Amino acid sequence: MRMRPTLSWTPTEDLPPGTTDLEPVADALSAGGVLVLSGAGISTESGIPDYRGEGGSLSRHTPMTYQEFTASAQARRRYWARSHLGWRTFGRARPNAGHRAVAAFGRRGLLSGVITQNVDSLHQAAGSEGVVELHGSLDRVVCLGCGAFSPRRELAQRLEAANPDFDPVAAGINPDGDADLTDEQVADFRVLPCVICGGILKPDVVFFGEAVPPQRVEHCREMVRGAASLLVLGSSLTVMSGLRFVRQAAQAGTPVLIINRDQTRGDRHALTRVALPLGRALTTVADRLGIPVDVPDSLRT
């Protein structure tokens, strides 16, 4: 199945309103076996904007599609210039209270696993183990010719050397690490090939319009089958890549709980949707369960 480039979603039915009651979430976690499915909303408190929330990047930015990237050298130049600049900020992002709370739940043995739609690796940086990166990670680069993988930091160093005078001012940074730049700002950017075969380099992430690897999808489906409940954190569930797991859980009678400030495409399948900031919500639940979370007071929003 290909991840459809669905950029927006409008409810076509009356959905239950959000709540501020965290008891169902606390009850699910205390029972254990919770599978976390996280989206861009969990990383906003780390300074990475989401796609569709208030002020989301889709209001000003259309993400690169796989088809455009592979078909056009100009599109690749635009992507790599913007992504290279964005990486300088994106790569410095640090886990926030939400990521740290999820890691604390995992250390206590309350989670069956973590699936993330994000490409920022902040769950792992917070200490979560065995995270399934549904859409890959910006930390890695893959060659579309020979299939070789390499660390993003190595390509960043090569791009810095090849573009020593590249230092434009961006209008903003997007959830995929892409900076907002004009065509004029990227016109002279030099794109580099694979050092092994000279092929096209691509970040090891699933672009809009690209297929999530079938083995990864099946692994996630198996995780859903084995979960006692599914906890969705900070995802609008607009794209099918995440929504399918919510539907699968609901069809199997597995409770679905959502923490997201705005309505989601999965609300009708959920036991509850908590409309609170994630950092505050998750650290509050951790406090109620007596689970210490290593979070500075400044991050407890």
d(CA 8, CA 128): 30
Nearest partner of 97 among 233, 267, 235, judged by Cα: 233
State how far the alpha carbon of 233 is from the alpha carbons of 68, 114, 283, 294, in Å.
30, 11, 13, 19
* 236 assigned to a ligand binding site: yes
* 56 assigned to a ligand binding site: yes
Would you please indicate which residues are annotated as catalytic (active-site) residues?
135
* 8 assigned to a ligand binding site: no
* 234 assigned to a ligand binding site: yes
* 43 assigned to a ligand binding site: yes
State how far the alpha carbon of 142 is from the alpha carbons of 4, 25, 150, 252, in Å.
22, 38, 7, 36
User: Both ends of the chain: CA-CA distance in Å?
Assistant: 38
* 58 assigned to a ligand binding site: yes
Residue 142, C-beta contacts closer than 8 angstroms, at least 6 positions apart:
148, 149, 201, 202, 203, 204
Q: Is 139 helix (H, G, I), strand (E, B) or coil?
A: strand
* 278 assigned to a ligand binding site: yes
- Rounded-to-10 torsion of CA 172, 177, 178, 180: 0
* 218 assigned to a ligand binding site: no
Residues 39 and 50: beta-carbon distance below 8 Å: yes
* 55 assigned to a ligand binding site: yes
* 194 assigned to a ligand binding site: yes
State how far the alpha carbon of 50 is from the alpha carbons of 40, 57, 224, 231, in Å.
5, 6, 25, 19
Burial 190-229 (b: 16+ CB within 10 A, else e): ebeebeeeebbbbbbbbbbbbebeeebbeebeebbeebeb
* 54 assigned to a ligand binding site: yes
User: Where is the binding site for NAD(+), in residues?
Assistant: 39-59, 117-120, 234-236, 278
Q: Which residues are annotated as a binding site for Zn(2+)?
A: 143, 146, 194, 197
- Residue ranges at the known binding site: 39-59, 117-120, 143, 146, 194, 197, 234-236, 278
